[in-house]
Structure 1
Amino acid sequence: MQDAVFDDPHGHDPNCIFCNIIAGNAPCRELYRDDTLIAFLDIAPVQPGHTLIVPLRHHVDMFTMSDEEMAAVARFARYMAPVVKLVTDADGLGVHQLNGAAAGQTVFHYHMHLIPAFEGKPPKIHGREPAPAEELDAMVEALRRGM
């Protein structure tokens, strides 16, 4: 694994699922995209509305990201978090970001999770099953309307 941005002009790693999503080579339920980041639903959500915010340039973790990229992710998380909470009628919302396998990172392209939280339903971060396509489609439409 390489920690730096790759030679590709967009900083993509051809073996990275998130880079393939960004390049349009893998499907996702996209919520938002600009020149710095993409936001889409997690295919195996902890809770309905579980959103991922991913920089377009490939960085394994936060340690090689520019201040501008980090700030863009944080700004969008601040914008999107209340939308996710409102649309899902959540009691709270977790913002999670892991760096390195020892911390629990499983996809080695920096990303931030927005996870709705509900009273009496503690979140299970890993080992989830993929959600049915119909549920993901309905949620992405509801979140887009909320934006």
Structure 2
Amino acid sequence: MYDQSNVFAKILRGEIPAFKVYEDQRSLSFMDAMPQSDGHTLVIPKVEARNFFDIAPDALADLIKATQYVAKGVQQAFKPDGMRIIQFNEPAAGQTVFHIHFHIVPCYEGQSIRGHGRDWADKAVLAEHAEKIRAALATLPPR
């Protein structure tokens, strides 16, 4: 069951602030507050869906398109050596927020990925990273 009190639902309703990167009618992307690497970004749908198995196929298609678009912006902004696109389903798989979302995690040679959901990032750094990604997205063709 979908819990409307989850943190991402609160972000969508404007009850909790987020460092937004991209938004359209169907999706929202923002910086992960506990990033695993510089540029770690999340993409969520604006529909209520707990995980991959709950979301309608059309909404999932829109979500993956938004994820690809934002990932291209992250790639251009941060120039990582690689990138992980991750989606977890239920606690046993590592899901901690029960609103479907994709993680865009840049990977850099010689740098370890930090733990999932461990340390809060400095808000000034998150704001700087969000601006960097928004600037990169502005140079891409519209989605």
Q: CA deviation at 1:89?
A: 2.1
TM-score for the superposition, normalised by structure 1: 0.88
**Aligned residue for 2:67?**
77
Residues 93-140 of structure 1: per-residue CA shift (max 9 Å, x gap): 100000011111111110000000001223234242111111011111
Say which of 101, 111, 123 aligns to 2:101: 111
% identical aligned pairs: 31
Unaligned segments of structure 1, at least 5 residues: 4-11
Which residue of 1 is the match for residue 36 of structure 2?
46
Find the counterpart in structure 2 of residue 132 from structure 1.
Answer: 122
Distance in 2 of aligned mates of 1:126 and 1:75: 24
Is residue 67 of structure 1 aligned with residue 65 of structure 2? no
8 A contact 2:35–2:114 mirrored in 1: no
TM-score for the superposition, normalised by structure 2 = 0.90
Structure 1 segments, 4+ long, off by >2 Å, are: none
Q: Distance in 1 between matches of 2:29 and 2:120?
A: 18
Structure 1: how far apart are the matches of 2:63 and 2:128? 25
Which one of 2, 8, 11 corresponds to residue 18 of structure 1? 8
Aligned pair count reads 137
SS at match of 1:64: coil
